[in-house]
Amino acid sequence: MTASHAIRAEFRGTIGKFALDAGFTAPAKGVTALFGPSGCGKTTVLRCIAGLLRINGVCEIDGEVWQDENGAFLPTYKRPLGYVFQEASLFQHLSVRRNLLFGAPRHDRSGIKGGIVFDEVVELLGINRLLDRSPRNLSGGERQRVAIGRALLSQPKLLLMDEPLSALDRATKNEILPFLERLRDHLNLPVVYITHDIAEVERLADQMVLMEKGHVIGAGPLEELQSDPSLPLAAARDAAVSFEGVVQASDEAYSLVTLKIRGGSLTAPAPPAPVGERRRIRVIAGDVSLTREAPGPSSILNVLPARVVSMKPVDSNEIIVVVALGADGDGARLLARVTRKSSEALGLSEGVGVYAQVKAVALAPGRGELG
Amino acid sequence: MKLTALATAFVAFLTSLAAPADADVTHVAVAANFTEPAKEIAALFKQKTGHEAVLIFGASGAFYTQITHSAPFEVFLSADSERPKMAVDNGFAVPDSRFTYAIGKLVLWSRVVDVTNGEAALKAGNFQKLSIANPVAAPYGTAAVETMKALGVYDALQPKIVQGNSIAQAFQFVDTRNAELGFVALSQLHAVTEGTRWEVPANLFSPIRQDAVLLRTGANSEASKAFLAFLKGPEAQAIIEQFGYALP
Amino acid sequence: MLGMPDDIWVPIKLTIELATISTLSLLVVATPLAWWLARSKAWFKEAAATVISLPMVLPPTVLGFYLLIALGPDGPGGAIASLWGARTLAFTFSGLVIGSIISSMPFVVQPIRNAFAAVGDRPLEVASTLRASPTRAFWTVALPLASPGLLTGAVLGFAHTVGEFGVILMIGGNIPGRTRVMSTAIFDFVETMRWREANLLAGGMVAFAFAVILAMILLEKRFTRAGA
């Protein structure tokens, strides 16, 4: 029970035929993603945290006990939380403005330090011109933004989001993600965010809780979970790792940006970016190949020394190799998907020094590129 | 197999419906207040003559309307004398077949107040509600009003009057004690022992003549004519008196 | 009043008073009942719903008969009436209101129950995540969203009370100015063969019923279109 864990949730019980036995802790600030396949219990856990569903368990937020093993249970309306549902669920009989203010406290506490201000939220979410409209006349993306604003204006201490982007098409999703990133950066609020889309996790989340069939099978920083070979993430066909890098230099002539990461640096195609800017980087396992010796001139820009950390067979003829960058193997971890044949031919095993050739690096849009 | 049996039964049923009216059966529309005596008379009638009288009970007003719209009754026993007269006048009944089969006796009855001396009870007025049949719908109601006027208590009692839409309902109001007392037919008290009653002297109201008439539909029906004859006879009359009616 | 003789105008006025008071009382009683029926998981819920619907299928004479006993000195009505020195609630306007409420109840409860059920759980869950207590959620979310159903129930209740004949006949006592409403007045006119007056009142009732039902259909259309 360290102070850094602001959220503690554990639930054990059966709902119909579904058995849930899941628990996790999450920090006081930042986005914790609840991730897993459909039906694994993510929504059930979220509803338990919110008090919309009651099963045996413990739920503590920032020292406040919302539920404990001795029968204490705070009803939902007494919990200072915000909840964003998958389908906006705006009140049809109220205008956007009145929807937004529905949960806002009677006495304007937004002036209190740290309080969430109406105008700020409206600006952050870009919903200014929608204020006097009826929810019926909004697009899916607009509705969801209003729903998020409504949850925020109730001055929550915890924000719960249940697949807020799942019901939207790709274009709308990409339109809203920047808003969510801005929210994360501006607000001092813990968020538990459910999604089944790893891209959303990579863009938004700092921590991840991985669930499967009602159980938590992994929890921790995203990087760690992605490069853990015992978890299903690493074994997936589109397995990837994502981590943060700091912009070191921009090459305008060739439209390349170089970023410093733990254990080395990566160059990626991107418009010029200010030095020192933090950017999220994504490297797909299938884009990483390995050699035992430093390769000669090659079209691949990124060749980094690394050390093999672990190996795990997937399918009948491939192996996922986890390598840590840097000659000592202390740096960021990458996944490489190689054939068993190659692996044996190269004599790969734990601790062996290799060179990781990263064919493609994806960069999340920088501040200057955000809408 | 089951289907054949079903079909046979169905055909038999239809056939029975289509059978020509049995000359030994007569359909009698009977005013509701005469229900009990009518049943006994019909039973005796069957015993003595072999003819069957099928009785239908209801309100005289409704019966009259149905008769003017070809209802399948052959005989009409009304609660008043107006409707049989109208039936004859308007050609729905056989002239000269109309006669008074019973004379209604008006009774003041109560399960709450002592009405043994009815006149005194009415004059004292120690009650909140007095029940009568709606005068526009039932002759017993008219008789009740006449009685009260004759006794000089009508104006004083008028605010306390509640009307049942039939004599049966007027009885119900008193029976459930919603009205402390009420004017009902003596025949309704035939099997009743509770409460106190005062038989209203006949000179206080116009006689409640209950007339019977042979309808045009029964003009050629032996059973119908036999029933009416039986109604006038001594055995029927004994039953009628027994049930609290006076004889003409 | 309005150039009509008293024996026509007074029953009309009485009928409108009765229908208005009954409808308002019905809304107050039926709404929480409909709410409970829409949301409760009690095992006996549908049995309760059936009991409430009984007046729809029972003959008015049966209903009226039991009401007569219930309103009288042998029933709860008598106990209540004794509070002000009366013996029974039958033959009173209040008795008629009670009778109308019971006989019109199923027509009011049903549409309101359906409207609450259509609201569903989601809006109320949302409200609870926005600090609304169950009471506040009911008044500010469930009720406004269900209001078309309440309107339908009110219209049906009003129309049914206006047309109610059997029950009123059984417990009213046909007192002019107090319990002689349109339906019993028509009965009287027919019995005394005053066809002109009977037609006037009856025709008026038919026209009224037509207008009411048409209005209800149009209103419902407008509401459901707006709420879609």
Cα dist. A64→A6, A7, A181 in Å? Answer: 9, 10, 27
Look over chain A and give the mean of its residue pLDDT values, rounded to a whole number.
89
Q: Which residues of C touch A89 (CB under 8 A)?
A: 122-123, 126
Cα dist. C181→A360, A366, B140, B247 in Å? Answer: 88, 79, 23, 39
A vs C contact (3+ beta-carbon pairs below 8 A): yes
Pair A165, A173: CB distance under 8 Å = yes
Token pair for B85: 């007269």
Contact B180 C74 (CB under 8 A): no
CA distance C56 to A141: 48
Backbone angles phi, psi at A290, to 5 degrees: -125, 145
In the stretch 116-135 of chain C, residues with CB closer than 8 A to chain A read: 122-123, 125-134
H or E element that contains C110 = helix C93-119
Asked whether residue A119 carries a pLDDT value surpassing 50, the answer given is: yes
Report the pLDDT value the prediction gives residue A88, as an integer from 0 to 100: 85
% of chain A at pLDDT higher than 90? 56
The SS3 of residue B2 is helix
All CATH 3.40.50.300 domain ranges in chain A, comma separated: 5-226
Q: Which residues of A touch C145 (CB under 8 A)?
A: 91-93
B174 plus B159 within the same structural domain = yes
CA distance B133 to A333: 101
The SS3 of residue B179 is coil
Asked whether residue B68 carries a pLDDT value surpassing 80, the answer given is: yes
CB pairs under 8 A between B and C: 57
Q: Which residues of B touch C (CB under 8 A)?
A: 61, 128-129, 131, 134, 136-137, 161-165, 169, 172-173, 176-180
Report the pLDDT value the prediction gives residue A108, as an integer from 0 to 100: 61
Asked whether residue A367 carries a pLDDT value surpassing 90, the answer given is: no
Asked whether residue C142 carries a pLDDT value surpassing 90, the answer given is: yes
Look over chain B and give the mean of its residue pLDDT values, rounded to a whole number.
89
Q: Within an 8 Å CB–CB cutoff, is residue A83 touching chain C?
A: yes
Is residue C180 in some structural domain?
yes
Q: What is the number of structural domains in chain B? A: 2
Cβ atoms within 10 Å, residue A14: 12
Q: Which residues of C touch A102 (CB under 8 A)?
A: 127, 130, 132, 140
Asked whether residue A113 carries a pLDDT value surpassing 70, the answer given is: no
Tell me the nearest-neighbour CA distance from B223 into chain C, angstroms: 32
Report the pLDDT value the prediction gives residue C67, as an integer from 0 to 100: 92
Q: What is the mean pLDDT of residues A125-148?
A: 92
Q: Which CATH number fits the domain that encloses residue C192?
A: 1.10.3720.10
pLDDT tens digit sequence for C183-193: 888 888 877 77
Q: Which CATH number fits the domain that encloses residue B177?
A: 3.40.190.10
Asked whether residue B161 carries a pLDDT value surpassing 60, the answer given is: yes
Contact C126 A89 (CB under 8 A): yes
In a 13 Å sphere around the CA of C201, the CA atoms on its Cβ side amount to: 28
Q: Nearest-CA neighbor of C179 among B142, B173, B168?
A: B173
pLDDT tens digit sequence for B29-61: 998 889 889 999 999 999 999 899 999 988 787
Q: Which residue carries 């026509």 as its tokens?
A: C8
Asked whether residue B20 carries a pLDDT value surpassing 60, the answer given is: no
Contact A50 C129 (CB under 8 A): yes
pLDDT tens digit sequence for A347-360: 999 999 999 999 98
Report the pLDDT value the prediction gives residue B225, as an integer from 0 to 100: 93
CATH code for the part of the protein at A240-365: 2.40.50.100
Cα dist. B95→B69, B92, B213, B216, B220 in Å? Answer: 19, 9, 9, 9, 14
B8 plus B125 within the same structural domain = no
pLDDT tens digit sequence for A257-303: 999 998 899 999 988 889 998 888 889 999 999 999 988 888 888 99
Q: How confident is the model at residue C228 (pLDDT cuts 50, 70, 90)?
A: very low
Is residue C88 in some structural domain?
yes
Report the pLDDT value the prediction gives residue A20, as an integer from 0 to 100: 93
Q: Which residue carries 């938004």 as its tokens?
A: A204
Is residue B247 in some structural domain?
no
pLDDT tens digit sequence for B80-127: 899 999 999 999 999 999 999 999 999 999 999 999 999 999 999 999
B135 plus B51 within the same structural domain = no
pLDDT tens digit sequence for A310-322: 999 988 889 999 9
Asked whether residue C8 carries a pLDDT value surpassing 50, the answer given is: yes
Q: What ipTM goes with this model?
A: 0.83
Report the pLDDT value the prediction gives residue A371, as an integer from 0 to 100: 41
DSSP state of B246: B
CA distance A55 to A21: 10
Beta bridge partners, B210, equal B102
Report the pLDDT value the prediction gives residue B14, as an integer from 0 to 100: 67
Is residue C3 in some structural domain?
no
> Of residues A145 and C165, which shows the higher confidence score?
A145
Q: What amino acid occupies position B68? A: T
Q: Which residues of C touch A81 (CB under 8 A)?
A: 129
Beta bridge partners, B17, equal none
C vs B contact (3+ beta-carbon pairs below 8 A): yes
Pair A44, A18: CB distance under 8 Å = yes
Tell me the nearest-neighbour CA distance from C154 into chain A, angstroms: 21
Asked whether residue B21 carries a pLDDT value surpassing 60, the answer given is: no
Token pair for A351: 């601790």
Q: Is B119 exposed, middle or buried (0-12, 13-18, 19+ CB in 10 A)?
A: middle
The SS3 of residue B190 is coil
Q: What is the number of structural domains in chain C? A: 1
Give the residue numbers spanning the domain of B87. Answer: 2-103+208-242
Contact C123 A50 (CB under 8 A): no
Q: What is the mean pLDDT of residues A252-257?
A: 90
Is residue B85 in some structural domain?
yes
Give the pairing type, strands B106-110 and A264-269.
Answer: unpaired
Is residue C46 in some structural domain?
no
Q: Within an 8 Å CB–CB cutoff, is residue C166 touching chain B?
A: no
Give the residue numbers spanning the domain of C104. Answer: 13-39+59-227
User: Which of B165, B176, B180 has the CB atom closest to C187's CB atom?
Assistant: B165
Is residue C48 in some structural domain?
no
Asked whether residue A10 carries a pLDDT value surpassing 80, the answer given is: yes
Report the pLDDT value the prediction gives residue B142, as an integer from 0 to 100: 92
CA distance A15 to C32: 30
Token pair for A233: 């993430």
Look over chain C and give the mean of its residue pLDDT values, rounded to a whole number.
88
Asked whether residue A369 carries a pLDDT value surpassing 60, the answer given is: no
B vs A contact (3+ beta-carbon pairs below 8 A): no
What is this structure's pTM?
0.79
> 3-state SS string over chain A?
CCCCEEEEEEEEEEECCEEEEEEEEEECCEEEEEECCCCCCHHHHHHHHHCCCCCCEEEEECCEEEECCCCCECCHHHCCEEEECCCCCCCCCCCHHHHHCCCCCCCCHHHCCCCCCHHHHHHHHCCHHHCCCCHHHCCHHHHHHHHHHHHHCCCCCEEEEECCCCCCCHHHHHHHHHHHHHHHHHCCCEEEEEECCHHHHHHHCCEEEEEECCEEEEEEEHHHHHCCCCCHHHHCCCCEEEEEEEEEEEECCCCEEEEEECCEEEEEECCCCCCCCEEEEEEEHHHEEEECCCCCCCCCCEEEEEEEEEEEEECCCEEEEEEEECCCCCCCEEEEEEEHHHHHHHCCCCCCEEEEEECCCEECCCHHHCC
The SS3 of residue B142 is helix
The SS3 of residue B212 is strand
Report the pLDDT value the prediction gives residue B168, as an integer from 0 to 100: 85
CA distance A53 to A50: 8
CA distance C37 to B112: 43
All CATH 2.40.50.100 domain ranges in chain A, comma separated: 240-365
pLDDT tens digit sequence for B123-160: 999 999 999 998 887 889 999 999 999 999 999 999 99
Please give the distance of CA B181 from its chain centroid, rounded to a whole number.
21
Most confident of A61-65, A85-89, C59-63, C132-136: C132-136
Q: What is the mean pLDDT of residues A124-144?
A: 91
User: Which of B129, B137, B177 has the CB atom closest to C91's CB atom?
Assistant: B129
Domain A5-226 - what CATH class?
alpha beta
Least confident of A2-6, A27-31, B244-248, C44-48: A2-6
Is residue C201 in some structural domain?
yes
CA distance B188 to B168: 8
Q: Which residue carries 């997937």 as its tokens?
A: A314
Pair C30, C102: CB distance under 8 Å = no
The SS3 of residue B17 is helix
Q: What is the mean pLDDT of residues B222-243?
A: 93
